[in-house]
């Protein structure tokens, strides 16, 4: 696996036409300038295998078993949950299967990113269902950032890349999705000390824990058509604001929806 990641890194570096362009913004952090990632030479990567191996072993030994479940889950469905749009649901399932990620992780992530709004856009420029920054979209081949299929495909592919980059640690992958992989590496392969990033990881892991818990699913209250319309108007709660409890509701068509109270 590490060899394949190294090959991918070389491929990315090879795509940079000159040393002057080696400093690139390759992150999805919601800031004006992003995090600058200075890519090391291949020799520098190979020069510290012992330290990297030790740190990796420590991370794996303390990893929550649920983290592994997210990646290794054999689920190929969202277990009754829906974004409210069958087409979007199908894109989540297709991309999650393609990149071997539990679709419920992407579902929980998308709820925080955009509250399932196709035209969501942050004031810093992140766009679409998976709130891709322009640099991230270009990095993963997106031609139209507003196309839900391309947006989801790139978001899931980026998560897969981050999971592989951080040795299967989904928590660090989530941190990297928000703050950029450069920030995670800068702080010793830990969640960066940014309040927004820490809250981002907390919210999504909490949602994933909830929607994979049968007791939470059984607690879903039925809502009528009018209430369902009001749910569709809800926006994602900004990470800078306090978020009330997350609940599941059962829509008139029988599917369930994750909702911020």
Q: Residues with catalytic annotation?
A: 113
Q: Are 208 and 101 in contact (CB under 8 A)?
A: no
Q: Kind of pairing, strands 246-250 and 256-260? A: antiparallel
Output the CA torsion sign for 206, 212, 216, 222: positive
Instruction: List b or e across 72-93, with b for residues whose CB sees 16 or more CB atoms inside 10 angstroms.
Output: ebeeeebeebbbeeeebbebbb
Strands (E), 107-261: 221-222, 246-250, 256-260
Tokens 């995090």 -> residue? 35
Rounded to the nearest 10°, the torsion over CA 119, 259, 131, 146 is -30
**Residue 30: which of 145, 134, 136, 125 has the closest Cα?**
125
Classify residue 20 by its DSSP letter. Answer: G
Please give the helix or strand (H or E) that residue 23 lies within, else none. strand 23-25
Residue 64: phi and psi, rounded to 5, are: -65, 130
């Amino acid at each position: 696996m590490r060899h394949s990641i190294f090959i991918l890194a070389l491929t990315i570096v090879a795509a940079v036409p000159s040393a002057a362009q080696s400093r690139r913004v390759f992150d999805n952090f919601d800031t004006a300038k992003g995090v600058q990632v200075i890519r090391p030479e291949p020799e520098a990567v190979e020069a510290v295998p012992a330290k990297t191996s030790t740190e990796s072993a420590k991370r794996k030994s303390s990893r929550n078993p649920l983290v592994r479940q997210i990646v290794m889950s054999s689920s190929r469905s969202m277990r009754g949950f829906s974004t409210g749009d069958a087409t979007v649901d199908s894109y989540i399932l297709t991309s999650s299967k393609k990149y071997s990620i539990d679709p419920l992780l992407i579902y929980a992530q998308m709820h925080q990113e955009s509250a399932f709004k196709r035209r969501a856009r942050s004031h810093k420029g992140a766009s679409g269902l998976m709130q891709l920054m322009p640099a991230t979209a270009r990095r993963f081949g997106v031609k139209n950032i507003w196309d839900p299929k391309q947006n989801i495909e790139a978001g899931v592919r980026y998560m897969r890349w981050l999971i592989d980059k951080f040795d299967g640690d989904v928590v660090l992958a989530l941190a990297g999705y928000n703050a950029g992989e450069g920030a995670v590496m800068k702080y010793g392969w830990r969640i960066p000390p940014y309040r927004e990033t820490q809250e981002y990881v907390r919210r999504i892991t909490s949602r994933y824990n909830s929607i994979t818990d049968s007791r939470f699913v059984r607690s879903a209250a039925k809502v009528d058509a009018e209430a369902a319309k009001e749910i569709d108007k809800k926006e994602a709660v900004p990470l800078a604001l306090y978020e009330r409890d997350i609940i599941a509701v059962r829509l008139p068509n029988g599917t369930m929806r994750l909702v911020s109270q």
